C-alpha cells in the first residue's frame, strides 16, 4: 500500500503557478512615506544613521514630493524639526509651525496626496518628552490640551489625517472632540494605539533631535514584554473613535499585529520604524544581505501578519522595485 502524502509542490512549479496561489501582495497603495521637514532654508541633511533619509527644508520639499508622487506613493507622514524648542513645545501648535507650513505647501501643489500629520510634542519640547513636565513626570491631562491644539492647527493647515503618537491616555477622545468642535468632524484619526517603549526608535530621535533629556518613555509607552495589554490599548482607541490603528514598531511585533487584526475591525497600520530601516541599510551597505529581497520579504511579511498599510522609510525603494517586477 502506498503511503499517502500531500503534494504541496504542485502549486510551486513555476512563477505563474506561484502567482496564481499567492495570498498576499504589496502595492504602492499600501505605503505611507515619512518625511522630516525642517524649519530653515536650503536644508537637505542626510540623517547619518538613516542613509537615504533627509531633513528637508520647505525649499527642498517639492523635489522630494515630485519623486514620491511619480513613484505612485499616495500618502506621506510629516514630522517637524523646529528651529526653537521650549518647555511646552509651542512650535507644535503654532499655526505657522513647520508641519503646518509643509502641509499647506503639499496640499497646494499635490492636492491629491494624503497628508498625515504626526501629532506629538517631543520634537518640539526642550526636554524631549511627549508631554508637559512637572516634578520630572509627564502629566497626562494637561498634555492632552496641547495635543488637541496641535491637531486642530494641523487640520486647519489642511492635513487629511491626524496621527497622534504621544501615548497619553484619552488622546483619541480628546482630539476627536477638539476636531469636531473646530469643524473638522470629517478628518480621520490614525491612532498610534499600540506603541512600545522601544530601542528601535533610536535613529528617529537622531533625526528629530528628540531624545528625552532625562529618564525614558516607559511611563507612557508600552512594555515590550506585554501582549494582552495591546488589545486593551486598541479597544479603548476604537471606543474613543479612532479611524485607523497603528502598531509600532513593526518587525518584532508581528504577533501583536495579528492579534489586533483578529480582534478589532479597523484599518490596521504597521510602523516599520527607523531602527529596523537602519539595520537593513547597514547590512546592505556591507554587502551582507540582498537589500531588495530582504525589504520585500519584510514588507510582505507585515501584510501577511495582518496589516493593511505600512509606514516605511523603504517606501520609495520598494515602489521602484515593484515597478520593475
Q: Give the footprint of ligand PBG on this chain (CB under 6 A).
A: 118, 120, 122, 130, 165-166, 201, 204-205, 273-274
* Residue among 196, 195, 215, 47 at smallest CA distance from 129: 215
How far is 263 from 38, CA to CA, in rounded Å?
38
Catalytic residue among 85, 90, 195, 303: 195
Would the annotation count 274 as a binding residue?
A: yes
| Least CB distance to ligand PBG at residue 245 (A) | 15
Residue 117 C-beta: closest distance to ligand PBG, Å: 11
Footprint on residues 93-122 left by Zn ion (CB under 5 A): 120, 122
In the complex with ligand PBG, which residue's Cβ is closer, 190 or 319? Answer: 190
Residue pair 316/28 in contact (Cβ under 8 Å)? The answer is no
* Alpha carbons 98 and 104: distance in angstroms, whole number: 10
**Which is catalytic among the residues 248, 261, 281, 316?**
248
- Span 148-207, contacts to Zn ion by CB under 5 A: 166
User: Applying CB under 5 A, which of residues 35, 92, 106, 130 lies at the interface with Zn ion?
Assistant: 130
Minimum CB distance to Zn ion smaller for 100 or for 150: 150
Residue 307 counted as an annotated binding residue:
no
Residue 325 cell numbers, joined = 517586477
The one-character DSSP state at 11 is G
Cβ closer to ligand PBG: 178 or 275? 275
Kindly tell me which of 17 and 219 has the beta carbon lying closer to ligand PBG: 219
Does the annotation count 195 as an active-site position?
Answer: yes
Q: Does position 133 bind Zn ion by CB under 5 A?
A: no
Q: What's phi and psi for 239, nearest 5 deg?
A: -65, -30
Strand positions, DSSP E, the chain: 31-38, 44-47, 50-56, 75-81, 114-119, 132-134, 137-139, 161-164, 190-195, 244-248, 268-272, 309-312
3-state helix, strand, coil in the chain (%, to 5): 45, 20, 35
Q: How far is the CB of 201 from ligand PBG (least distance, A)?
A: 4
CB of 152 to Zn ion, least distance (A): 18
Could you give the CA distance from residue 260 to residue 227 in angstroms, rounded to a whole number?
Answer: 10
Binding site annotation covers 130? yes
- Binding residues for Zn ion, per CB under 5 A? 120, 122, 130, 166
Catalytic positions: 195, 248
> Which residues are documented as binding site for 5-aminolevulinate?
205, 217, 274, 313
Amino acid at each position: 500500500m502506498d503511503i499517502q502524502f500531500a503534494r504541496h509542490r504542485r502549486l510551486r512549479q513555476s512563477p505563474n503557478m506561484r502567482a496564481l496561489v499567492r495570498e498576499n501582495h504589496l502595492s504602492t497603495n499600501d505605503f505611507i512615506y515619512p518625511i522630516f521637514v525642517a524649519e530653515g532654508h536650503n536644508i537637505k541633511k542626510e540623517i547619518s544613521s538613516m542613509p537615504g533619509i533627509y531633513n528637508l527644508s520647505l525649499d527642498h520639499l517639492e523635489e522630494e514630493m515630485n519623486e514620491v508622487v511619480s513613484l505612485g506613493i499616495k500618502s506621506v507622514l510629516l514630522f517637524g524639526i523646529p528651529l526653537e524648542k521650549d518647555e511646552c513645545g509651542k512650535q507644535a501648535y503654532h499655526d505657522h509651525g513647520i508641519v503646518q507650513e509643509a502641509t499647506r505647501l503639499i496640499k497646494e501643489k499635490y492636492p491629491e496626496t494624503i497628508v498625515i500629520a504626526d501629532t506629538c510634542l517631543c520634537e518640539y519640547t526642550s526636554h524631549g518628552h511627549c508631554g508637559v513636565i512637572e516634578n520630572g513626570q509627564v502629566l497626562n491631562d494637561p498634555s492632552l490640551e496641547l495635543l488637541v491644539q496641535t491637531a486642530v492647527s494641523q487640520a486647519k493647515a489642511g492635513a487629511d489625517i491626524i496621527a497622534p503618537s504621544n501615548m497619553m491616555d484619552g488622546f483619541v477622545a480628546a482630539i476627536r472632540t477638539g476636531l469636531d468642535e473646530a469643524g473638522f468632524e470629517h478628518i480621520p484619526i490614525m491612532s498610534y494605539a499600540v506603541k512600545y517603549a522601544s530601542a528601535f526608535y533610536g535613529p528617529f530621535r537622531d533625526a528629530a533631535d528628540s531624545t528625552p533629556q532625562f529618564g525614558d518613555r516607559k511611563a507612557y509607552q508600552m512594555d515590550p514584554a506585554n501582549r494582552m495589554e495591546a488589545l486593551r490599548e486598541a479597544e479603548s482607541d476604537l471606543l474613543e473613535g479612532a479611524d485607523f490603528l497603528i502598531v509600532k514598531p513593526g518587525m518584532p511585533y508581528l504577533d501583536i499585529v495579528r492579534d489586533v487584526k483578529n480582534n478589532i475591525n479597523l484599518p490596521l497600520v504597521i510602523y516599520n520604524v527607523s531602527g529596523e530601516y537602519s539595520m537593513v541599510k547597514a547590512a546592505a551597505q556591507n554587502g551582507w544581505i540582498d537589500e531588495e529581497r530582504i525589504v520585500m520579504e519584510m514588507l510582505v511579511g507585515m501584510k501577511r501578519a495582518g496589516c493593511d498599510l505600512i509606514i516605511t522609510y523603504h517606501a520609495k525603494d520598494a515602489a521602484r522595485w515593484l515597478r520593475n517586477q
